[in-house]
Amino acid sequence: MNFVYNDVEMIFHQVLYDDLGCASYFLADGGQAVVVDARWDVDVYVELAAAEHVRIAHVLDTHQHADHVSGRERLAALTGARTEIAAGDEIEVGALRLRALATPGHRPEHLSIVVSDLSRGEDPWLVLAGDSLLVGDLARPDLAVEARTGARDLHRTLRELLRLGDGVELWPAHVGGSLCGGARLSGKTSSTIGYERAHNPLLAVEEAQFADELLRELPPRPPNIERVVGLNRARTASAPPPPADLELSALLDEIAAGARVVDGRAPDAFDAGHLPGAINLPAGRARGTRAGWVLRPGRLRSRQRAGAGEDAERRGVVGRGRPRRGRARALAGARPGGAASLEPGRRDARRAAASR
């Protein structure tokens, strides 16, 4: 669901990607637009620009994302937009001023984007806080540096953000469902500096206590962080090749050689029969995050097979990766195809955890 805010001729859209709990932003005035923290599938921003009759002039990331591959370079390649910004830089489009504020903690290079509406005044209107101050929670500090070092940096960053003023709107890069926050991360998609100051007790404590409390509640560290960050640092606009199809016989050969199989059908269909050793990963929120816990990068294959009467939810879907043990092989979902290849009626079938 997109949140749309129009003030006079200014345009503000929040674009949510529910699967990973990610939020990106489209701001425009004076015929030009800025996109912040673009997701990989960039068509939504191109469509917004066409609908609003503006040109995308800047595509910015608040940091090197660790949970998804950025669409910054893809969108810049399509639009000719500029992508560079550093702490202290200012960008103006129409009456909108965007100022980059250094806010390390989640990552050393992290920036927050402070936005002012110059048609009304120079005071901050809102902050695109990336992964620093979140709604109901704080960003985790352990994904790029030693956790306590990151926590100390984050404590100083939060003091800086609180000085923006209680009336400033807070728009984060992640909402509930993301692994970039903790257990208190809200499903609400925006807040204000003042509301978070009043209701997040960690914003009122000193640095030592802050670090102790924040680190005590950290969730497990996702295993695919370095790969995702590496892809973002490479700043490539090229997409991976589409998965090649596998016939059932080839799929069974891959399994025999050590492949990990992810079955994307609904749980009831999976329980009725599935390939031995398969992991059930049905469609739903945080599917990409859950896949990252059970798979490593590798060759991509797909096995999709459905009867004429089956709907999309019951079809086998693509998986990806390399098993955590054994050789790099393909994986795929598969429809029940006979007693020789399936384990029927397994109510205790393994399923990828809904969250970690």
132 and 35 inside one domain: yes
Residues 32, 53: one domain? yes
Distance of CA 339 to the CA centre of its chain: 39
Last residue of a domain, one of 209, 234, 259: 234
* pLDDT averaged over every residue in the chain: 80
Co-location of 227 and 259 in the same domain: no
Q: What DSSP element (H or E) covers 117?
A: strand 111-117
Token pair in block for residue 208: 């030592």
Q: Could you tell me if 169 and 314 lie in one domain? A: no
Q: What is the pLDDT of residue 261?
A: 82
Q: In angstroms, rounded to a whole number, what is the distance separating the alpha carbons of residues 294 and 261?
A: 10
Same domain, 339 and 284: yes
**pLDDT tens-place string over residues 245-297:** 777 788 788 778 877 788 888 899 989 988 878 888 887 666 666 776 677 66
Report the predicted TM-score, pTM, of the whole model to 2 decimal places: 0.78
Last residue of a domain, one of 204, 234, 264: 234
- Asked if 248 and 217 sit in the same domain, the reply is no
User: Which CATH number covers residue 87?
Assistant: 3.60.15.10
Q: In angstroms, how far is CA 131 from the centroid of its own chain?
A: 11
d(CA 112, CA 92): 16
226 and 254 share one domain: no
Asked if the model's pLDDT at residue 30 lies above 80, the reply is yes
The structural domain count of the chain equals 2
The Cβ of residue 2 has, within 10 Å, a number of other Cβ atoms equal to 10
pLDDT tier for residue 304 given thresholds of 50, 70 and 90: low
Q: Give residue for tokens 């984007």.
A: 113
Query: Is 20 found in the same domain as 82?
Result: yes
Domain check: are 265 and 229 in the same one? no
Of residues 50, 63, 69, 80, the one with CA closest to residue 144: 63
Where does the pLDDT of residue 43 fall: very low under 50, low under 70, confident under 90, or very high at 90 and above?
very high
Judgement on whether residues 250 and 230 belong to the same structural domain of the protein:
no
What CATH number is associated with residue 295?
3.40.250
Tell whether 281 and 227 lie within a shared domain.
no
| DSSP helix/strand/coil, 251 | helix
Q: What tens digit of pLDDT does each residue of 50-95 get? A: 999 999 999 999 999 988 889 999 999 999 999 999 999 999 999 9
Q: Both 117 and 77 in a single domain?
A: yes
Integer CA distances (angstroms), 86 to 63, 103, 110, 214, in order: 11, 11, 10, 28
- Which residues span the domain enclosing 260? 243-356
